[in-house]
Structure 1
Amino acid sequence: MTATTTRSAPKAPATSQTVDRLGATAWTDVAVLTVLSVLAVLGFEPAFGHYAFLLASLGGIAVGTVAAVVCRLFRLPVPISIAIALAAYFVFGTPLAMPGQATMVVLPSLDSLSGLVLGAVFGWADAVTLQAPLEAPPYVAVVPYFATWLVALVSVTLALRWLPRARSRGTARAAAVLIAPAVLFVAGILLGTRDPFFAGVRGVLFAGIAIVWLGWRRGRTREHSVDVAVDPGLRRRKLVGTGIVVIGAVAVGALAGSVLAPPASSRFVLRQEVTPPFDPLDYPSPLAGFRQYTKDLEKTELFTVDGLQSGQLIRLASMDSYDGVVWSVTDPSDSTDASGSFELLGSTIPRPPLFTPGGTSEATIAIRQYSDVWLPTLGYMTQLGFDAHRGTDPSETVRVNTATGTTAITSGVGVGLRYTVDATAQRLPSDKTLAKVAPARLTLPPVTNVPDIVSSKAEEYAGSSSTAIQKLRNIERSLKTFGYLSHGRASDPVPSRAGEGADRMTDLFAKSPMVGDQEQYASAFALMARHLGYPTRVVMGFAPKVATGSTTTVTGNDVTAWDEVAFDGVGWVPFFPTPTKTDAPRNQTTRPKLEPQPQVRQPPAANPKPQDLLTPVKTKDNERKPPHTSFSLPGWVWVVGGVIVIPLVLYFVPLLVIAALKRRRRRRRERVGAADRRAAGAWDELADGYAELGLTVPANATRRQAASAFERQAAAQNLRVPDAGLVPLAERIDGAVFDGSAVSDERVGDAWSRSDDAVREARRSAGWLRRRLASFRYRRARRRPRP
């Protein structure tokens, strides 16, 4: 260090007393914090899946940095600086984060301003619960904009206002300023996916730049603390040496990190730990409750519709997955384009991927006594608006499937809800036109456990036509010709069993005549069409009678079901295979066919003679036979039966029934469904086993939370758990369910083996009486929807 000289700050000109000037140190601080924020925000790329979020992210950094610098230059107080920063957030947030909701691309609108608020408050929850890449609702893009704006504003403000005041503790304050960019870096990791975006390179660069900056700030603090000037050459050599060391560390660390990085499956991200808010498989199949509408709710006024046109159908739900028991929506993890994939409602609803627009309509629906998660709509919606003056606005809990035209409200469709639907109908070409069109090539979930009789009837009914539309029309016409309509009510001419399972389909075709309602005929048509290789789905809804110019009241008797087949370049064409005839003959399946006999003259009836005129003949055998008496048990047998046998029957029969139910529950969870659902079934089996032992299953808890609760209860009740605890098992199953990778059968088997060991160990440690009581308990866990 050379000789020191006293330094004095240069005086500003008299004409610029109201505006400060920032020195090179301040601008360096701003540049370093900006670079660190950019490195941190790149971690959002896996969640958004594209680089469009960079406009909002870099814009947020620019808006926050400029607001902090301008307020510092004009020496504005903190409250006014905050007001200016908020104003800049809303003014520039519309073109940067929500240009689609802007007026003339750049001017704020009510939708964009509300989205900037909703995104800052609620967008974080959607960012970790919605499926990546994040595209809807529009306010999700506000998350990176708000995060970078806030980080830049706080860190730059502290660097310009608070950091220069430091004397002896300048390094500690500089480290505190780095907290905001570090939090942004961690947020990018937590909100991302299992596939990181150059995590090792970004992490090493972030740490290296931060270390160099801290070392440089430490030297600057020492210079100011002793008020001396340091040889610039010495300072430069020291800084260059430190930079070379850090650059070498960055290079080695980046290379080693790319080679020694842990597998993606071990990466902790929030979306893998949070249960998605809406899984349609958590709810019963809509078609399974068809008979509830036709019987229990036959005359119940479910909802009213204003603006419904004659012949227009009301859609409730579309189903394209069949397991031999019911038609249901597809598991969202199996297909992202099928009936089970739902997304948040945006200001506009995208067009379906396979659709030819026809006429448009607008209707207002008011809910009366309808209660479910499926929202009645018309055709394919283009807009959906709720009347907030008549009740709670459920817009934030609406989920839409644009491919099927199905809408659900996770909070439930409540009484008093009123909403307006703008919809576009599918344009339907003539059969002559469709004869030249091939069915669409779509990958739908396979149908399983289909009876052989359905396949044979499909070939028989389809006939030898050369076109797909003609074969489908033949099947539709055959079902309507040979079948009869019956809802199984007491007023129907013949009984009709509910259900669309394999046994009901066999019963429908094996007995003559065919008897059923829309549930059976729509299911049969879909199975036969799928057998022929045509993409078909079942749609449930309502077909009320419309009175022109008046409000239409929809009751349970208006429920219906139909089928839709996808044609290439056209869309989904509806088919209505349910017959309208209701006069089916009674008992035709059991009454033998009578053949006419030749008429024969019968002799006149003779009066029987009194039996007392006959003299019985006594024989030797008759004398030896004892008189006929009714069989009766001895009294001791009744005593033994009442004391021993009846209690044993009352004990073992329920025990066997419950054991059979548990065995059936286990087999369905272990063998039915995709691999990730079978792995999740292992945890459900564990939770049910612990609940049957008397432990309380926490409601609306994640598997990790439930595992911790089970461990605490087991410790309090002297029940043993595995040495490693239950949390690792919960994490293994969460990984199989949520990490998005292919789940092997060995992984599923390992989850079931560990689950069985945990339940078995708990049962062994329980007392004899507790084990017996657990044998008589039966619980079937059902995943509850997230609020």
Structure 2
Amino acid sequence: MTAATQGGAGRAGAGAAGASRAARAAPTAPVFDSLSRTTWIDVAVLVALSLIAVAGFEPAFGHYAFASAAVGGILVGGGVALLGRLLRLSWLLTAVIALAAYFLLGTPLALPGQALFGVLPSLDSLSGLVLGAVFGWSDAVTLQAPLEAPPYVAVVPYVAGWLVALVSVSLAVRWLPRRGSRRAPVGRAAVLLVGPALLLLAAILLGTRDPFFAGVRGVLFAGVALVWLAWRRGRFARDRVETDTAVRRSRLLGGAAVVLGAVLVGALAGAVLAPPAASRFVVRDEITPPFDPLDYPSPLAGFRKYTKDLQKTKLFTVTGLRQGQVIRLATMDSYDGIVWSVAAPGSDTDASGAFELLGSTIPRPPLFTPGIASTASIDVLGYSDVWLPTLGYTDRLTFDAHTGQDPTTTVRVNTATGTAAVTSGVRDGLSYTVGATAQKIPNDRALAKVPPAKLTLPPVTNVPDVVSAKAEEYAGSADTAIQKLRNIERSLKSLGYLSHGRASDPVPSRAGEGADRMTDLLSKSPMVGDQEQYASAFALMARRLGYPTRVVMGFAPKVTGSTTTVTGDDVTAWDEVAFDGVGWVPFFPTPTKTDAPKNQTTKPKLEPQPQVRQPPPADPRAEDLLTPVKTKDNDPKDKTSGFSIPVWVWVVLGVIGIPLLAYFVPLLVIAALKRRRRRRRETTGPPDRRAAGAWDELADGYAELGLTIPERSTRLQAASSLEQQSAAQSLPVPDGGLRDLARHVDAAVFDGTDVAEQRVQTAWGATDRALSEATKAAGPLRARLAAFRYRRPRRA
């Protein structure tokens, strides 16, 4: 081998050895990418805002049953977005992984009842995840809350949290930190708030009239978002120009003060100006119009149709009815002098007109003491109406689909009254099962210690005067509410006679419950009528005494076996009075005697006497009819000696005064702080220190206008930076520029001579002129913002 060959081989060997050493020395790329501290904070803020938003699903789903699905969706979507960024995966691959995680983890989180072994997906759970994402939204606003059926409706909070977290976190870790974003305005970060804001809006729209801490959640959401945006803006400002530590601290404290003020003002305004629950906009009421009972005739007005036309007609059969148990048909608490009727929808959540969509379960009434639970099956025969016969207070209602009739979507229930209606109509062949709980009725001795409940019921109007007179006469001198009501009940039963006005009845009886019929019933002797008249008279008397009373119409059949056939002759009506903490106690004022004398020649036992006392002041109409002058004089509202402020004045003060206070109070506080800062700088210390204070005042004034003061710079460097920023923002620079003022102040501080008062005043005069010209040129909006900013004094 020649020397050249040996030399070439040596060089080749050396090159191979060097390449091997280089390969061993080259670092390997890490498996996971790293994220900055700012990005982690962005992700944490977006997740926190999403959690605040999904809490609004509580009224629709109830009992925090949605929490695992909603929170799980946020964690699944956000976790996949983070994992895709840490593994440097593409957008498309991240979306595919997120979709797979949606189906894999959605079963145990949203549909655990359909999972295999409680965890693994099944065909039912996978189809439910698809159906819930597509059709669950429409079902959520057409079914009664709390939403429990169909099962796939639980997917709604899961898919909402998953989608919002996936998109928002992906933008936060990929788009927001992208090259060049550090110079982007704060609006770039504000784009990421769209997702949590839409989630908050969706939770509100899918909710009910009873919000879930709406004021607290709204203020907390806005506060967190504002603090985060202010922090992001501060980050951008520090990246452009180094900022003094005191400036950063003042910005942080100022932002915290603004957020705290917003929280306090928002909480105060929400407490004062919060609208009632009945005025809330609810999507479920707009998409599916509420059931309006006033579109149908009053049930009590058709009472005689059952006693005459349908007396022998088999209306329906009931299996499982107990002896003495009544069937509830309709509840009425509104009277207009003509007829008792169900109240209009939206009048009050406890009124008889507040009907809601039927869900898988029916909540208990707001005023209720549970008693015996029962279940019965009802098969409709000759009954045809909109009102659905039920038992007690219904908590379960299922229809037999084998009959070809399943009116689940057209059923409306009223939890406060225990009644139900079918907007599509109850017809022959309908079969359903009712699960109900009866109201527990305490004895009169226990009720003697209980006051009537304080409820706001629809008003009764056009009540005849004889009702007030008879109410006081029949109630007697009893001390308790239950004693007065029992006295009225016994008086009607003992003095009256029962007659349905049929040809077979001993005496005729006119139908109706209007004011003229009530006058006829209570003025003539003997009293003759049926449940329609006596229940109406009892309710009017009780309402005149101030007791919350309503009229109930239903059936009271005699139970002869396991299956009971109900006919029109079983129709009845009774009254219910609400007692505080107990519930609605029934009263049955209809007499059972039917042998009323046809001709009354002797003086009746209770002849109405001329009444000299005034009726109770609950009904202004009756007072005006009797003695309007005395009623006005005896009205304690007319004897007020002090000055009363109308309600509209308080509303105007709340609407106008709170925003004015929120604007002027911080403005006055900051203005006082600025005056104190200037006075200290201009009057405190030796002349050289006061001259330096003029420059500090100038720097703070420009900083409050939005300009940046370089950190750790001389006055000449700061003056040069301020002149450049002023030129870029079209702000004027005083004659000689700011650098002349900086030199003047430096000479006064550093030349070692005694500083004359004239030099101090010259520095302050130049400062005032420069700030005045810059403020005028900045415009009114920027000047107003500068008035709300305060840069804390720095140590010399």
TM-score range, shorter chain: 0.5 to 0.7
1:38 aligns with one of 43, 48, 53? 48
Partner of 1:323: 336
> Alpha carbons of 1:500 and 1:306: their partners in 2 closer, same or farther (altered >3 Å)?
same
TM-score (normalizing by structure 2): 0.56
> Alpha carbons of 1:400 and 1:469: their partners in 2 closer, same or farther (altered >3 Å)?
same
> Alpha carbons of 1:581 and 1:54: their partners in 2 closer, same or farther (altered >3 Å)?
closer
Partner of 1:447: 460
Q: How far apart, CA to CA, are the structure 1 residues paired with 2:265 and 2:580?
A: 49
Q: How far apart, CA to CA, are the structure 2 residues paired with 1:488 and 1:573?
A: 29
Is the aligned partner of 1:90 residue 2:107?
yes
> Alpha carbons of 1:464 and 1:189: their partners in 2 closer, same or farther (altered >3 Å)?
closer
Q: How far apart, CA to CA, are the structure 1 residues paired with 2:323 and 2:476?
A: 34
> Alpha carbons of 1:491 and 1:180: their partners in 2 closer, same or farther (altered >3 Å)?
same
Could you tell me how far 1:420 is from its partner in structure 2? Answer: 1.4
Q: In the TM superposition, what whole-angstrom CA distance separates every residue of 1:183-205 from its partner, at most 9, and x where no partner exists?
A: 33554676687975575784575
Between 1:506-515 and 1:477-486, the stretch displaced more is: 477-486
Secondary structure (helix, strand or coil) at the match of 2:433 reads strand
Q: In the TM superposition, what whole-angstrom CA distance separates every residue of 1:579-607 from its partner, at most 9, and x where no partner exists?
A: 33445455x48x999xxxxxxxxxxxxxx
Secondary structure (helix, strand or coil) at the match of 1:526 reads helix
1:486-505 aligned within 5 A:
486-505=499-518
Partner amino acid, structure 2, of 1:310: Q
Q: In the TM superposition, what whole-angstrom CA distance separates every residue of 1:159-178 from its partner, at most 9, and x where no partner exists?
A: 66899999999989998766
Between 1:376-385 and 1:461-470, the stretch displaced more is: 461-470
Between 1:280-289 and 1:534-543, the stretch displaced more is: 280-289
Partner amino acid, structure 2, of 1:24: L
Partner of 2:566: 554
Partner amino acid, structure 2, of 1:184: L
Q: How far apart, CA to CA, are the structure 2 residues paired with 1:291 and 1:342?
A: 26
Q: Any conservation in 2 of the 1:191–1:269 contact (CA below 8 Å)?
A: no
1:23 aligns with one of 19, 22, 34? 34
Is the aligned partner of 1:314 residue 2:331?
no
Q: How far apart, CA to CA, are the structure 1 residues paired with 2:40 and 2:509?
A: 77
Could you tell me how far 1:525 is from its partner in structure 2? Answer: 1.6
Could you tell me how far 1:467 is from its partner in structure 2? Answer: 5.8
Could you tell me how far 1:481 is from its partner in structure 2? Answer: 3.5
Q: Any conservation in 2 of the 1:205–1:250 contact (CA below 8 Å)?
A: no
Secondary structure (helix, strand or coil) at the match of 2:282 reads helix
Q: How far apart, CA to CA, are the structure 2 residues paired with 1:39 and 1:424?
A: 42
Q: Any conservation in 1 of the 2:34–2:86 contact (CA below 8 Å)?
A: no
Could you tell me how far 1:519 is from its partner in structure 2? Answer: 0.9
Partner amino acid, structure 1, of 2:32: R
Q: In the TM superposition, what whole-angstrom CA distance separates every residue of 1:117-171 from its partner, at most 9, and x where no partner exists?
A: 89866776688799xxx97345898755542222113333566689999999998
1:656-671 aligned within 5 A:
none
Q: How far apart, CA to CA, are the structure 2 residues paired with 1:423 and 1:111?
A: 31
Partner of 1:147: 160
Q: How far apart, CA to CA, are the structure 2 residues paired with 1:176 and 1:529?
A: 61
Could you tell me how far 1:376 is from its partner in structure 2? Answer: 1.4
Q: How far apart, CA to CA, are the structure 2 residues paired with 1:173 and 1:435?
A: 66
Q: Any conservation in 2 of the 1:200–1:254 contact (CA below 8 Å)?
A: no
Partner of 2:590: 578
Partner of 2:674: none
Partner of 1:183: 198
> Alpha carbons of 1:488 and 1:266: their partners in 2 closer, same or farther (altered >3 Å)?
same
Q: How far apart, CA to CA, are the structure 2 residues paired with 1:23 and 1:307?
A: 69
Partner of 1:407: 420
Q: How far apart, CA to CA, are the structure 2 residues paired with 1:45 and 1:493?
A: 65
1:136 aligns with one of 124, 128, 146? 146
1:458 aligns with one of 468, 471, 485? 471
Could you tell me how far 1:456 is from its partner in structure 2? Answer: 2.3
| Percent of paired sites with the same residue | 59
Partner of 1:733: none
Unaligned runs of 5+ in 2: 1-24, 604-619, 622-646, 653-796
1:521-600 aligned within 5 A:
521-549=534-562, 551-567=563-579, 570-586=582-598, 588=599
> Alpha carbons of 1:306 and 1:149: their partners in 2 closer, same or farther (altered >3 Å)?
same
Q: Any conservation in 1 of the 2:543–2:549 contact (CA below 8 Å)?
A: yes
Partner amino acid, structure 1, of 2:305: Q
Partner amino acid, structure 2, of 1:136: P
Q: Any conservation in 1 of the 2:500–2:509 contact (CA below 8 Å)?
A: yes
Is the aligned partner of 1:421 residue 2:434?
yes
Q: Any conservation in 2 of the 1:359–1:425 contact (CA below 8 Å)?
A: yes
Number of paired residues?
563
Partner amino acid, structure 1, of 2:577: V
Partner of 1:709: none
Is the aligned partner of 1:364 residue 2:377?
yes
1:514 aligns with one of 509, 527, 540? 527
Q: In the TM superposition, what whole-angstrom CA distance separates every residue of 1:602-653 from its partner, at most 9, and x where no partner exists?
A: xxxxxxxxxxxxxxxxxxxxxxxxxxxxxxxxxxxxxxxxxxxxxxxxxxxx
Q: Any conservation in 2 of the 1:33–1:152 contact (CA below 8 Å)?
A: no
Partner of 1:769: none
Partner amino acid, structure 2, of 1:477: R
Could you tell me how far 1:561 is from its partner in structure 2? Answer: 0.5
Q: How far apart, CA to CA, are the structure 2 residues paired with 1:346 and 1:497?
A: 42
Q: Any conservation in 1 of the 2:499–2:530 contact (CA below 8 Å)?
A: yes
Q: Any conservation in 2 of the 1:40–1:188 contact (CA below 8 Å)?
A: no
1:69-218 aligned within 5 A:
69=82, 78-79=95-96, 81-93=98-110, 136-137=146-147, 144-157=157-170, 179-184=194-199, 186-187=201-202, 197=216, 202-203=221-222, 206=225, 209=228
1:705-744 aligned within 5 A:
none
Between 1:358-367 and 1:405-414, the stretch displaced more is: 405-414
Cα RMSD of the aligned pairs, angstroms, is 5.6
Q: How far apart, CA to CA, are the structure 2 residues paired with 1:566 and 1:366?
A: 32
Q: How far apart, CA to CA, are the structure 1 residues paired with 2:446 and 2:351?
A: 23
> Alpha carbons of 1:128 and 1:234: their partners in 2 closer, same or farther (altered >3 Å)?
same
Q: Any conservation in 2 of the 1:67–1:88 contact (CA below 8 Å)?
A: no
Could you tell me how far 1:506 is from its partner in structure 2? Answer: 0.6
Could you tell me how far 1:363 is from its partner in structure 2? Answer: 0.5
> Alpha carbons of 1:184 and 1:427: their partners in 2 closer, same or farther (altered >3 Å)?
closer
Unaligned runs of 5+ in 1: 1-7, 14-19, 220-232, 594-670, 673-741, 748-787
Q: How far apart, CA to CA, are the structure 2 residues paired with 1:242 and 1:389?
A: 76
Is the aligned partner of 1:478 residue 2:491?
yes
Q: How far apart, CA to CA, are the structure 1 residues paired with 2:367 and 2:407?
A: 28
1:200-349 aligned within 5 A:
202-203=221-222, 206=225, 209=228, 237=242, 270-271=281-282, 275=286, 277-281=290-294, 283-330=296-343, 333-349=346-362
Secondary structure (helix, strand or coil) at the match of 1:24 reads coil
Q: Any conservation in 1 of the 2:291–2:423 contact (CA below 8 Å)?
A: yes
> Alpha carbons of 1:91 and 1:559: their partners in 2 closer, same or farther (altered >3 Å)?
same
Q: How far apart, CA to CA, are the structure 1 residues paired with 2:200 and 2:356?
A: 27
Could you tell me how far 1:548 is from its partner in structure 2? Answer: 0.6
> Alpha carbons of 1:106 and 1:78: their partners in 2 closer, same or farther (altered >3 Å)?
closer
Partner amino acid, structure 1, of 2:198: V
Q: How far apart, CA to CA, are the structure 2 residues paired with 1:442 and 1:125?
A: 38
